[in-house]
Homo-oligomer: A and B are copies of this chain.
């Protein structure tokens, strides 16, 4: 029962697009991730996708729109909506998804779920 410092957790790794689980909540994984460059286009049919930018700037492309998030900006990609997160420079993000959701939308290509 300790608070989790998201900045401390983010300081434990460097690779972009490799989320680290830092807690759980109602069947969801609470994750931090470093965004850098473009991730792949994907979608999650069974979960909305929560993004909160902690540092830097994150763009989320969807097929018919694109949003830009700075620190303290939150966005939820509804389930089933194709999207591609990207960042021109490293950005730090809090992610929330149903536990076990493959980050690429596909278990074959997903990053392993790791703890930080």
Contacts and interface: CB of A to CB of B under 8 A. Distances in A.
A4 interface: yes
- 10 A-B pairs closest in CB distance: A3-B73, A3-B75, A4-B74, A3-B69, A6-B72, A25-B48, A26-B48, A25-B76, A25-B50, A3-B67
Contacts of A24: 76
Nearest to A69: B3
A7 interface: yes
Nearest to A53: B3
User: Chain A: interface residue count, which band?
Assistant: 20 to 34
A47 interface: yes
A104 interface: no
Interface of A: 1-7, 22-26, 28, 30, 47-48, 50, 52, 54, 62, 65, 67-69, 72-76, 94, 96, 98
A53 to B, nearest CB: 8
Between A26, A47, A52, A73, the greatest number of chain B beta carbons within 10 A of the residue's beta carbon is seen for: A26
A67 B7 contact: no
